[in-house]
Amino acid sequence: MRLLEHESKRILEKYRIALPVGRLVGQGEPLTIDGPVMLKAQIPIGGRGKAGGILAATQAEEARQKVSHLLKSNIRGYIPKAVYMEEKKAVKQEFFMGITYDTVAKAPVAIFSAEGGVDIEELAQRKPALVRKEHFTVHSRLPLHRAREIVAEAGVSGKLLLGLSVALATIAEVFLDYDATVVEVNPLALMDDGRLVALDCHLEIDDDAVPRHADIAAMEKDTGRVEGERRMSDFERLAFNIDNLDHRGVAGRVIEFDGNLGLIIGGGGASLTAFDAIRAHGGRPANYCEVGGNPSVLKVKELTRLILSKPGVDKIAVIMNVVSNTRVDMMARGIVKGILESGKNPAQTVAVFRVPGAWEEEGHKILSKYGVPIQDRTVSIDEAARIAVTNTH
């Protein structure tokens, strides 16, 4: 889940990272300003500045007009529900710092550059020597002395080195405390008075960890928080509610399509692979979804019932990659219960079942009891998709 800028800044504020004075403003609100301000559309995506989502104003009436303009604008597929207005700061120097998770090294990585305010990926390609990276562990966190080494390697010294090191170690704390996948402060600006101030920030929380944080979970459930160009359908909203039935695993992140074959797919990037394979073989998906992380039988059952409730959907394809974190027997039990509660025959409803993983033998016993044909791990995802499409016609 990606937080909006003002939401991210409230978290940074808890960790005593300095911020410009700012507040949310809405449509038609009378404004008073003491000097130049920045007006920032609150959308959950980067690149706002280049897309016209960040504007400057020097007078109250100008600010009001620009706020109204931003709230009516389509910015990178989103229509802002609010604008964050903050004082415009005189900046002496800008820095980049961030923490993310390196899936190859299987460890958090701290990133720092003495050139902030730019796209870090682009900078890393053009001038790799200017971007410093250092892995650390969840248990040891990022000690201040290691943060100091990272910043020093970027050519920073003196009093500034100490301030930047504290900021880098602090955002590492935010990253771990909030189960984040990304914490990025860009730019962290050096003011004329020597203060370091976070002018912009980007914070993403691991979706599976959201229920552990009551404040973040409340944001996620706020349907008026973000408005995309494409609005969530009633079907997708019901699926979203299913995924929130309990904290166990993922079952219910769904995008609706107008096809006739229901999909219950997942396992890393396997959901995209299976979806594309279904279409490549001439199938018409009724939905895209992600399932994994060992969802409860209840969630799988309710998702199955929801998909089968769509008009014209009589078949479902259950395809996953080899999974060690999802029990096949629980998937099978949920699928079968959902089909039975929909008043259908499992043997005639499951177009394909290809879920290799933990408790696989027990899952196959459940499916065999109801006459559901099973494809084991020797059957590729592509072949499973072909079988599903063949059995749907």
Mean pLDDT for the chain?
Answer: 91
Q: Which CATH number fits domain 21-87: 3.30.1490.20, 3.40.50.2300, 3.40.47.10, 1.20.58.100?
A: 3.30.1490.20
Give CA separation, 302 vs 7, 306, 375, in Å.
Answer: 32, 6, 23
For position 267, what pLDDT does the model report? Answer: 67
pLDDT over 70 percentage in the chain? 97
pLDDT confidence band for 229 (50 / 70 / 90): low
For position 209, what pLDDT does the model report? Answer: 86
User: Per mean pLDDT, which range of 78-82, 247-251, 287-291 is the poorest?
Assistant: 247-251
Give CA separation, 14 vs 126, 171, 173, in Å.
Answer: 35, 11, 11
Distance separating alpha carbons of residues 191 and 89, to the nearest angstrom: 8
Kindly report the number of other CB atoms within 10 A of residue 286's CB atom.
Answer: 25
Per-residue pLDDT for 136 more than 70? yes
Bin 141: left if φ > 0, else alpha if -120 < ψ < 50, else beta. left
The CATH code for residues 91-209 is: 3.30.470.20
Query: pTM of the prediction?
Result: 0.68
Q: Which fold has domain 232-392?
A: Rossmann fold (3.40.50)
Per-residue pLDDT for 35 more than 80? yes
Distance separating alpha carbons of residues 184 and 260, to the nearest angstrom: 42
Per-residue pLDDT for 306 more than 90? yes
Per-residue pLDDT for 273 more than 80? yes
Q: What is the DSSP letter of 45?
A: S
Per-residue pLDDT for 292 more than 70? yes
Kindly report the number of other CB atoms within 10 A of residue 387's CB atom.
Answer: 20
Coil, strand, or helix at residue 195?
coil
Distance separating alpha carbons of residues 169 and 133, to the nearest angstrom: 13
- Please report, as a single letter, which amino acid is at residue 8: S
Per-residue pLDDT for 356 more than 90? yes
